Chains A and B, each alone.
Chain A
Amino acid sequence: MQFLKIIPTPFVLLVLWMTAAVPMQAARQAPASQPRTAPPAAQDEYVPLSELPPDEQLPAVPLVFIAYGLIWLAVLVYVITIWRRQSAVEKELQVLKRQLRS
């Protein structure tokens, strides 16, 4: 379990990298011209993208970014809470063991 003590720093770095990496990777491969949108509601003729109603132009990049960011944040918060509880328990254990030995 000593291994656990050296995890947090590389883990935090990985989190920061991933939060940026996934959406950037995906976005880089996206066609640079226009954001992908859901097919518009039934229409009789061609409507250029700029004339589509605003809610059909929802940009996907922030959504993907936020989604992956939230995942990493949730896992990170959980790992940090476990780590804090673990250190508190270990400290108390050492104090108690010392008391019992004396």
Chain B
Amino acid sequence: MLGRAFPILVTVAIACFGAAPFLIGAAPYESTMGLVQKIFYFHAPSGMTMFVGACVAGCASAAYLFTGKTSADRIAAAAVELTVLFGAIVLMTGPLWGRKAWGVWWQWDARLTSSLLLWMMFVACLLVRKYGGPGSAKLAAAVALFGMANVPFVYISVNVWRTVHPKTTVVPSLGAGMRGPFWFCVAAFLLLFLVLLAVRVRLAEQQSELETLYLELADRPATS
């Protein structure tokens, strides 16, 4: 998918994640939460990457549904898997932070509930792809499209309702020392997403090449 840029991007991604601990360690402490707030530097970018993954999956699914291009289906399948991965990261790191900051592992407030539902929708998409039988690619595409439609709701939920989760105004108003490491981590996560997407799409291309070869082999007349 990325051609010759791929090795460069992988190296840059690994370098970014290598540098991240130092930047995060050097960032100032948040006044009330102290050390545990450092989880933010990976938790929030994972959340953003989950949204990006959901949107990529939705758009690729729409493209597949309306144009029938299998390349769009491959991108959608890859993006759905990555949305589940980054969503799982958000849902695991959030409670670890929340346990210390709020005193509870989980709360059924708008942001947490809607994020969990978004994640579950994409897991359901994976289940359809795996167990739906032939033609399940289109079904999965419809599910992913509906999943993407949910992303705006999840994002604004924290502003509309009174929730225990920090609002979206936190990121634009970050202090100078925190802004740098945060956006660096966002860039690193988006790069990781791109790299993993390319790898997964390549796998899907090879699987489809395999199927074509199987069909070719089956079509061959039997030689005595």
Contact = CB atoms under 8 A, between A and B. Distances in A.
Interface of A: 1, 3-4, 7, 10-11, 14, 17-18, 21-22, 25-30, 35-39, 55, 58, 60-61, 63-64, 66-68, 70-71, 74-75, 78-79, 82, 85-86, 89-90, 92-93, 96-97, 99-100
Given A29-B25, A58-B99, A63-B39, 6 more contacts: A68-B42, A74-B85, A74-B92, A75-B85, A86-B206, A100-B213
A70 B92 CA distance: 8
A30 to B, nearest CB: 5
8 smallest CB-CB distances across A and B, nearest first, come from A36-B34, A25-B25, A60-B35, A60-B36, A22-B21, A21-B21, A96-B213, A67-B93
Given A7-B10, A64-B38, A26 B213 contact: no
Interface string B65-92: 0000000000000000100010011001
B161 interface: no
B38 A89 contact: no
Residue picked from B18, B32, B93, most chain A C-beta under 10 Å: B93
Interface of B: 6-7, 10, 14, 17-18, 20-22, 24-26, 29, 32-36, 38-39, 42-43, 46, 81, 85, 88-89, 92-93, 96-97, 99-101, 103, 192, 196, 199-200, 202-203, 206-207, 209-210, 213-214, 216-217, 220
